[in-house]
Structure 1
Amino acid sequence: MRFHDLDLPLEIMHAISDLGFQYCTPIQAAILPKLLTGVDAAGKAQTGTGKSAVFLINILTQMLRNPIAGKRPSGTPRALILAPTRELALQIEKDARGLAKYASCKIVAVFGGIDYQKQRQQLIRDHVDILVATPGRLLDFVQQGQIHLDKVETLVIDEADRMLDMGFIPDVRRIIRKTPQKSRRVTMLFSATLTPEVMRLASQWTTNPFVVEIEPEQVAVETVDQIVYLTTFEEKFTLLVNLIFHNNLERLLIFGNRRDVTRNLLERLTRYDIRCALLSGEVKQNQRIKALEDFRSGKIRVLVATDVAARGLHVDDISHVVNYDLPLDPEAYVHRIGRTGRAGALGTSVSFADEGDSFQIPVIEEFMGQKLHCIYPPEELLKPLPAPQKVRPTKSRRRFTNSRKRPARPGKKVAGSRR
């Protein structure tokens, strides 16, 4: 299905053309025609399927077709999009700005980890059309009277399953109670899995929703070439560095299961003069944003991440994803490799299966309904690495090293000195 077939406003079609899209992804083709008629929806889809564009195109279309005349109060959004993480909120905001390029639409994102006053000024300076928010920070602004949700026309709950996992549902309930009744708003709920718990939430918050399911293997298999290297723990880092240099990889995302693993990887890769940055829960939000922007712009070639980046991270032209550790959750494997091969482009995922996590292979295969291509690494990728560069001493160490004389230890007599 072409976007041209959906009878969208010219402003949106112009933006879609600028973004280089002509044909709908499976979930877009399945749900957009129905959604544009004003019904509620519940969709099962992984990230990377184009689901953000589904609700954003619908929101923008309804706003353009039903403009509001006159001055509007500040902090009163027409559309509210709830996301479980800061990274996903930022990505939705970025996607919204791209699609609203030619529409007069005010988009604001609020989330924790960023200066509260700066976000407050954004809210009180002008009216808001689309508000993208994480639950905690949104409730703060609602309680302070900076945001009013009684005029919300469209409510989107993205990654509802993760909202459940992260314990956000009580906050989400409080937020939804501030919006108009479900009969007076359009509600869309999206989730990677439509579990009984998620479907119960959908029944509470939506009215006769149109339900669509896009299975995970459709995302992972079609556009991602998957390779699993059977290796040992000791060989993994050598394999990784040789993989980067042998293939001259310029935009690579590496996943580790734990923060200490990713920290160690970052330090070791830096010693081989590989420009990289870290994305994990312990990294401050402003540093995460800078890391993502540097990765997008090409200032760094490698992003090392925990699963905090597995959902909601959208960077164009990631050629390879490496699972330095195989994830314990098979669904996380699909989320990770979905960072490449997006929007119909081809990508490659390379996973390292050592003696500690190779037992995960059958579990992942069963979840995806297909066999993984497991091979031993070629000899050129196990070639011993040269000695890494020495870590430069800190400023204080350099001063100490460059001084002519070392200070004497307390109580020790130095030649030529008087006691």
Structure 2
Amino acid sequence: MPAAPWDISEFAVEPVDGKTRFHDFDLSPELMHAIADVGFKYCSPIQAQSLPHALQGKDVVGKAQTGTGKTAAFLAAIIDDLLKNPITEKRYAGEARALVIAPTRELVIQIAEDAKALCKYTDLKIHTLVGGMDYTKQQRRLHETLVDILVATPGRLLDFCGNKDVYLDQLEVLVIDEADRMLDMGFIPQVRQIVRQTPHREDRQTLFFSATFTDDVHNLVQQWTYKPVTIEIEPESVANARVDQHVYLVSTEEKYTLLYNLIQQEHAESMIVFANRRDECRDLYEKLLRHGIKAGLLSGEITQNKRVSTLDAFKNGDIKVLVATDVAGRGIHISGISHVVNFTLPEEPEDYVHRIGRTGRAGKSGTSISFACEDDALRLEPIEKLLGKPIKCEQPPEILLLLPPELPALPPRSRHQERYSNRSVGNRPGGNRSRRPRH
């Protein structure tokens, strides 16, 4: 006997003064069923302010930090629009209805996971296109399954567009997420090429999000949006109040000793260690492994499959310490991380906020510890200015400066290993597929 159809009465959420419910937007029943499953009751400020406009098809420009709920805001608007405006004529492989561009592979995968959760009771198909993963597998899926929501990094998306595997001329909704980050990473020329392949801004809906708004970001807004509604969400606190922040004054030579001893502390259940450079992360990771510490590495040099398996191992508790660069760490959304360590202070103050925001989530408290040597001192003042308050600098407790055991000797490496250890091979398709004509 088939199950009775779901009814919104099964998801009761009491009205509360000053709060907006998802019930208040007349969303599609299939979408509301999924929202009930994930437990969304009341909207965050970015959701409450952007959804009324986005659901009317207006362009929205949102200033909001990571972790404010903007992903659910734009996904809810996209899904509701696609469900209420189904395509009746024939569709072709690779023709996306909605496109979300994000700067990092981790963020793309996270957005796609959220989209799949919200599309649970629909027939909408979500595809992800990211570098570092099997091109042919992504290509095959595009050929075999229609694409409703496409989530992609700029470079990999351009590869697929260039090979005639993806077409953006029928796009209904374009989302540009973390625009400031894409500027920092040098992706804007690629994004320009992508936007040129979409319908004119008057003929598509554009949802544009950025944590900061420089003159360059404002210029992009003017070029890519049409009569947008602008929404600014100022975080209640730039840094999470549940994060206990420490800055330890140490020499460069003492940093690893301090890190090793921190990891040994009983209350350090899980830890992300941030460093500014890939080679620094690689060196830390290898030292931790040699000291018998279960560690994982996330940086741009690691293949995507390896990064996904490393994150899964960290979530499951098989790995205690994750060593990451800012680019790799931006898309990490894992609750229960007890400690964040800034092995080197970031060059951009906003990255400090993003880093320490990995802990103190879901109502739990967290600890952030930054190591400041002579080279890091100049980076402290801009961070304090952003936070709006000074950070207390202190000498580390003596117990954290005890010399760790000597590192065991490295096994000898062959010349073949030296040559190929940091190289990865990607698959490229053999040829282009010609496009079928429209009717």
Q: Is the TM value for this pair above 0.5?
A: yes
2:193 corresponds to: 174
Aligned partner of 2:208 among 179, 182, 189: 189
Change (3 A) 1:233 1:185: same
Query: Take 1:301 and 1:202, find their aligned partners in 2: how far apart are those partners?
Result: 41
2:295·2:322 contact (CA, 8 Å) conserved in 1?
Answer: yes
Shift of 1:389: 5.3
1:411 corresponds to: none
1:49·1:219 contact (CA, 8 Å) conserved in 2?
Answer: no
Aligned partner of 1:309 among 325, 328, 332: 328
Query: Which stretch of the first structure deviates more once superposed, 90-99 or 380-389?
Result: 380-389
Q: Considering only aligned residues, what root-mean-square deviation do their CA atoms show, in Å?
A: 2.4
Change (3 A) 1:370 1:26: farther
Aligned partner of 1:134 among 153, 161, 183: 153
* 2:16 corresponds to 1:32: no
Aligned partner of 1:88 among 107, 117, 131: 107
1:310·1:332 contact (CA, 8 Å) conserved in 2?
Answer: no
For structure 2, the residue ranges without an aligned partner over 5 or more in a row are 1-19, 416-439
Q: Which has the larger radius of gyration?
A: 1
Q: How does 1:73-84 map to 2 (within 5 A)?
A: 73-84=92-103
Shift of 1:353: 1.4
Q: How does 1:355-394 map to 2 (within 5 A)?
A: 355-388=374-407
Shift of 1:7: 3.6
1:25·1:343 contact (CA, 8 Å) conserved in 2?
Answer: no
Amino acid at match of 2:97: R
Amino acid at match of 2:86: P
* 2:356 corresponds to 1:337: yes
* 2:303 corresponds to 1:284: yes
1:43 corresponds to: 62
Shift of 1:60: 1.1
Query: Take 1:118 and 1:125, find their aligned partners in 2: how far apart are those partners?
Result: 11
Change (3 A) 1:167 1:354: closer
1:48·1:219 contact (CA, 8 Å) conserved in 2?
Answer: no
Deviations 1:75-103 (A, max 9, x none): 11110111222222222112212222222
1:115 corresponds to: 134
Q: How does 1:318-333 map to 2 (within 5 A)?
A: 318-333=337-352
Change (3 A) 1:363 1:216: farther
Amino acid at match of 1:235: E
Shift of 1:393: 6.8
Query: Take 1:197 and 1:2, find their aligned partners in 2: how far apart are those partners?
Result: 35
TM-score, normalised on structure 2? 0.83
Number of residue pairs matched?
396
Shift of 1:240: 1.7
Query: Take 1:360 and 1:11, find their aligned partners in 2: how far apart are those partners?
Result: 49
Query: Which stretch of the first structure deviates more once superposed, 318-327 or 170-179?
Result: 170-179
Query: Take 2:343 and 2:152, find their aligned partners in 1: how far apart are those partners?
Result: 32
Shift of 1:394: 7.4
1:216·1:334 contact (CA, 8 Å) conserved in 2?
Answer: no
Query: Take 1:103 and 1:191, find their aligned partners in 2: how far apart are those partners?
Result: 29
1:208 corresponds to: 227
- SS of equivalent to 2:245: strand
- SS of equivalent to 2:297: strand
Shift of 1:135: 2.0
2:28 corresponds to: 9
- SS of equivalent to 2:128: strand
Deviations 1:327-383 (A, max 9, x none): 122122112112223455543222111232123222210122122233322233333
Query: Take 2:162 and 2:325, find their aligned partners in 1: how far apart are those partners?
Result: 33
* 2:285 corresponds to 1:270: no
Q: How does 1:376-415 map to 2 (within 5 A)?
A: 376-388=395-407
2:273·2:341 contact (CA, 8 Å) conserved in 1?
Answer: yes
1:143 corresponds to: 162
Amino acid at match of 2:307: R
Query: Take 1:157 and 1:188, find their aligned partners in 2: how far apart are those partners?
Result: 6
Change (3 A) 1:17 1:342: farther
Amino acid at match of 2:393: C
Change (3 A) 1:296 1:219: farther
2:335·2:362 contact (CA, 8 Å) conserved in 1?
Answer: no
- SS of equivalent to 1:349: strand
1:417 corresponds to: none
Change (3 A) 1:34 1:115: same
2:271·2:341 contact (CA, 8 Å) conserved in 1?
Answer: yes
- SS of equivalent to 2:368: strand
* 2:56 corresponds to 1:56: no
1:328·1:360 contact (CA, 8 Å) conserved in 2?
Answer: yes
Amino acid at match of 1:163: M
Query: Which stretch of the first structure deviates more once superposed, 129-138 or 170-179?
Result: 170-179
1:48·1:343 contact (CA, 8 Å) conserved in 2?
Answer: no
Deviations 1:281-307 (A, max 9, x none): 222222222222222232212110112
Amino acid at match of 2:38: L
Query: Take 1:257 and 1:352, find their aligned partners in 2: how far apart are those partners?
Result: 13
1:279·1:304 contact (CA, 8 Å) conserved in 2?
Answer: yes
Shift of 1:131: 0.4
Shift of 1:224: 2.6
Query: Which stretch of the first structure deviates more once superposed, 154-163 or 336-345?
Result: 336-345
Shift of 1:233: 2.4
2:319 corresponds to: 300
Query: Take 2:244 and 2:78, find their aligned partners in 1: how far apart are those partners?
Result: 34
TM-score, normalised on structure 1? 0.87
1:222 corresponds to: 241
- SS of equivalent to 1:220: coil
